[in-house]
Amino acid sequence: MGRRYAKIKYRKNNINRTKGLIQDYFAKKDKSTLGQGAELIQFFKNSLLRSRIETTKYECKQGLLNLSENRELNNNLVQRIIETICGIANSDPDSDGYIFLGVADQKNHADRIKSLDTVNPVEVNGRYVVGIDRESKLLGKSLEDYVEILVSALRNSQLAEPLKTQVLMKIDPILYKGHSVIRIPIPAQTEVSFVGETAFTRENSSTVEAKGPKLIAVSKRFQK
């Protein structure tokens, strides 16, 4: 409240100084660019920090393979990812959501992965970045071919349009402290999304089928 803050030009100087000090710790709104960048990595870290609170908008999956000794592709998990995309899209028409593949959400899973795949998980706010490089090597595939497993499953799924195309256009690989993670953005929608004839929504961190009164409640979210 001193005289040095009374004039507009002084206030603008203070604002610009503050912006200069903090701008490196924020990411611009999603550009959906394929590849790396400081903003994308910072966005990923910030998302993990928020994911414990905004549980309906974030989901973490350790990978596409079972954590058993045979390490086979878990086709049921791939289907659940598709249903989760639908559920996140239906949970809030006003904001985007995200799925991160290559992040374990339980310490016992991270410990199991460390034992099976000889990797060192990176802990961020109770989440454990384990990457998907270990799985691509087990499958004998390049990182690009591994991503194509997911992309192909999404492309051939019954996930409704335009959500399907929007998701396929925005999948990003992120390299975080030596671990490759796949980010699947789920853009905000203007109407209820379906997988085939079934709608899904989110209840905290769980994806559930929306039918009857629950489907009516989901529909009302999109009535502006």
Q: In the predicted model, is pLDDT for residue 31 greater than 50?
A: no
Name the one residue in this structure whose structure tokens are 């058993």. 68
- 20 lies in a domain? no
- 205 lies in a domain? yes
Name the one residue in this structure whose structure tokens are 């998990």. 77
Q: List the structure tokens of 28.
A: 């611009």
Q: How far apart are CA 155 and CA 153, in angstroms?
A: 6
- 19 lies in a domain? no
The pLDDT of 45-72, averaged and rounded, is 90
Domain count for the chain: 1
Nearest to 182 by CA among 90, 77, 64: 64
Range of the domain at 51: 32-219
Q: In the predicted model, is pLDDT for residue 25 greater than 50?
A: yes
> pLDDT category, 24, cuts 50, 70, 90?
low
Q: What is the pLDDT of residue 33?
A: 40
Nearest to 101 by CA among 163, 167, 161, 160: 167
Question: pLDDT digits over 120-142, tens only?
Answer: 999 998 999 999 999 999 999 99
- 10 lies in a domain? no
Name the one residue in this structure whose structure tokens are 């350790």. 62
Share of the chain above pLDDT 70, in %: 89
Nearest to 39 by CA among 52, 26, 53: 26
Does residue 165 or residue 35 have the better pLDDT?
A: 165
Q: What is the CATH number of the domain that holds 203?
A: 3.30.950.30
Lowest average pLDDT, out of 51-55, 119-123, 160-164, goes to 51-55
- 3 lies in a domain? no
pTM: 0.81
- 15 lies in a domain? no
- 4 lies in a domain? no
Q: In the predicted model, is pLDDT for residue 4 greater than 80?
A: no
* DSSP strand pairing (97-101 vs 58-61): parallel
- 168 lies in a domain? yes
